[in-house]
A and B are shown apart, each in its own frame.
Chain A
Amino acid sequence: MARSALLGSSLAKKYWMALTGLFLCIFLIAHLAGNLQLLDMSPDGQLKFNAYAKFMTTFPLVKVVSYLLYASILFHAFDGILLALQNRKARPVRYHYEKAGANSTWYSRQMALLGTLVLVFLVIHMKGFWYEMHWGDLGLDADGNKDLYTLVAAAFSQPWYVAIYVVSMAVLAFHLLHGFASAFQSLGLNHPRYTPLIKNVGVFFAVVVPVFFALIPVWMFINA
């Protein structure tokens, strides 16, 4: 019963959703910080980025964290889709007319759709760069590191590829616009003194992080 309560119940599913979601938020900050290096498109910047990519794929501690990350994404997606399926089943007959906008935001009601779109993006994104970095046939740069930079620059010289990234970041922004503050509520962290602050930080995070992520492909496209 103790086991099932912390694994199977509706509330438990939400704790895991919130914990994995917040962990992914922390990851986003680290991932963004590293990848902003791509904005430096000088030959020196390219070498630095490739060296950084090598570090990120070989340093043991980073590897351990990255496995935790893969597990979190898979669990978050699996748990989220499970929750959404249960939620659909809970209302077998739907309303003829619903004025849902009167009491909640559309993105808070569409977390599963937004999340699924993020998942589709992640598949494209990981196939494009992560898979290629690990198992692809990349050339070497002047320092003898795998030349991920050139691959990224080539990808972002195509308008449709840039467009996928920009749209996906908009989707992520809406996921986070509800998700960030929602995670605190799921964990029971609601307090009249701190909740307004959490909500404001959430809006800031949900806007700033995706905007900077989207800036990278746009910048590389313009300066190609």
Chain B
Amino acid sequence: MGTMKLTLKIWRQSGPNDKGKMVSYPVNDVSEDMSFLEMLDVLNDELVRNGDDPIAFDHDCREGICGSCSLFINGEAHGPGRGITTCQLHMRKFKDGDVIQVEPWRAGAFPVVKDLVVDRSAFDRIQAAGGFVSVNTSGNLVDGNAIPIPKNDADSAFDAATCIGCGACVATCTNSSAMLFVAAKVSQFALLPQGRPEARKRVLAMVEQMDKEGFGNCSNTGACEVECPKGISLEHIARMNREYVAASVTKDR
């Protein structure tokens, strides 16, 4: 109980072209009820008060649903603990006197913007390449529930759709591969009748964009599945692999 004294070693980088380095910060009076981000808020408050540059990090919802927060904490994406984002990580996971290493996601496709903030727009471009269904919205919309869908498929599609696009899979993967993210986005549509008409085009386009962005290849180490805050399964990667081979050999041109 009570408060903890910690030493944070945080990656500081003033901008995309700065070399950057790890900098040590002592933090006192850390309550175990704080979230990791609240602890950083406290540190930033102190830095600002001393006229120093606060540490830049991404965050938004702070309840594990938006996918904004990141951080590679003590060698793991979103820190220790499973099935949580950094905003859901609490200081009770650490103990008095701990040294905590905090680094940004590392991938060529996720360049550092400043300190712990990386540019994840590569994910947006992959989504834009095919992660959607083309729905006619001009007044003749069909009730989605009118189409019967097997319960297992609906559940599995929903599981895939819970991916929040945080990028922990890429950060964790020894190859900086984006396969789990792309597989989740492909699967959520591939499993549903509404997604089938564009399925072949989608998987080919999304994989092509993934490769263009410079993500690594999948070695099936399974690290992504372990560190993913939403527990996205490797089964989705296998589904994408099937979809891709089928699309490659059956497409028209």
Task: Enumerate chain A interface residues (CB-CB to B < 8 A).
Answer: 1-2, 5-6, 9-15, 83, 86-87, 89-100, 102-105, 108-109, 111, 178, 181-182, 185-190, 192
Q: Is the interface of B mostly helix, strand, loop or mixed?
A: mixed
Q: A90-B107, A95-B103 are in contact. Are A10 and B238 (CB under 8 A)?
A: no
Cα–Cα distance between A86 and B251 once the two chains are bound (Å): 27
Cα–Cα distance between A118 and B143 once the two chains are bound (Å): 57
Q: Tell whether, in the assembled complex, residue B253 and residue A11 are in contact, meaning their CB atoms are under 8 Å apart.
A: no
Q: Tell whether, in the assembled complex, residue A13 and residue B217 are in contact, meaning their CB atoms are under 8 Å apart.
A: yes
Shortest CB-to-CB span from B129 to chain A, Å, is 13
Q: Tell whether, in the assembled complex, residue B237 and residue A95 are in contact, meaning their CB atoms are under 8 Å apart.
A: no
Cα–Cα distance between A181 and B238 once the two chains are bound (Å): 12
Shortest CB-to-CB span from A100 to chain B, Å, is 6
Q: Tell whether, in the assembled complex, residue A15 and residue B245 are in contact, meaning their CB atoms are under 8 Å apart.
A: yes
Q: A97-B103, A102-B76, A185-B234 are in contact. Are A87 and B223 (CB under 8 A)?
A: no
Binds A, one of B89-97, B134-142, B158-166, B174-182: B174-182
Cα–Cα distance between A100 and B221 once the two chains are bound (Å): 10
Q: Tell whether, in the assembled complex, residue A104 and residue B238 are in contact, meaning their CB atoms are under 8 Å apart.
A: no
Q: Tell whether, in the assembled complex, residue B75 and residue A185 are in contact, meaning their CB atoms are under 8 Å apart.
A: no
Given contacts A90-B175, A96-B103, 14 further A-B contacts (CB under 8 A): A2-B249, A83-B217, A83-B219, A87-B177, A87-B216, A89-B108, A90-B177, A90-B215, A91-B175, A99-B76, A105-B221, A185-B241, A188-B238, A188-B243
Task: Enumerate chain B interface residues (CB-CB to A < 8 A).
Answer: 9, 11, 22, 72, 74-76, 80, 101, 103, 106-109, 112, 172, 174-177, 204, 207-208, 210-211, 214-223, 226-227, 234-235, 237-245, 248-249, 251, 253
Q: Which of B107, B210, B219 contacts A111 (CB 8 A)?
A: B219
Q: Point out which of B107, B177, B242, B244 has the most chain A C-beta atoms below 10 A from its C-beta.
A: B244
Q: Tell whether, in the assembled complex, residue A190 and residue B234 are in contact, meaning their CB atoms are under 8 Å apart.
A: yes
Cα–Cα distance between A121 and B238 once the two chains are bound (Å): 32
CB closest chain-A residue, reference B172? A103
Question: In the assembled complex, which residues on chain A have CB atoms less than 8 Å from the CB atom of B251?
Answer: 2
Q: Tell whether, in the assembled complex, residue B220 and residue A185 are in contact, meaning their CB atoms are under 8 Å apart.
A: yes
Question: In the assembled complex, which residues on chain A have CB atoms less than 8 Å from the CB atom of B11?
Answer: 96
Shortest CB-to-CB span from A43 to chain B, Å, is 48
Q: A89-B214, A103-B222 are in contact. Are A95 and B239 (CB under 8 A)?
A: no
Cα–Cα distance between A14 and B242 once the two chains are bound (Å): 12
Question: In the assembled complex, which residues on chain A have CB atoms less than 8 Å from the CB atom of B227?
Answer: 103
CB closest chain-A residue, reference B238? A190
Question: In the assembled complex, which residues on chain B have CB atoms less than 8 Å from the CB atom of A188?
Answer: 238-243, 245
Shortest CB-to-CB span from A221 to chain B, Å, is 36
Question: In the assembled complex, which residues on chain A have CB atoms less than 8 Å from the CB atom of B80?
Answer: 102
Question: In the assembled complex, which residues on chain B have CB atoms less than 8 Å from the CB atom of A178?
Answer: 220-221
Q: Tell whether, in the assembled complex, residue B103 and residue A90 are in contact, meaning their CB atoms are under 8 Å apart.
A: no
Q: A87-B174, A109-B219 are in contact. Are A192 and B75 (CB under 8 A)?
A: no
Q: Point out which of B11, B75, B227 has the most chain A C-beta atoms below 10 A from its C-beta.
A: B75
Q: Tell whether, in the assembled complex, residue B75 and residue A98 are in contact, meaning their CB atoms are under 8 Å apart.
A: yes
Cα–Cα distance between A96 and B21 once the two chains are bound (Å): 10
Cα–Cα distance between A11 and B214 once the two chains are bound (Å): 14
Q: Tell whether, in the assembled complex, residue A87 and residue B219 are in contact, meaning their CB atoms are under 8 Å apart.
A: yes
Q: A1-B253, A5-B248, A189-B238 are in contact. Are A91 and B219 (CB under 8 A)?
A: no
Q: A98-B75, A99-B74, A188-B239 are in contact. Are A91 and B223 (CB under 8 A)?
A: no
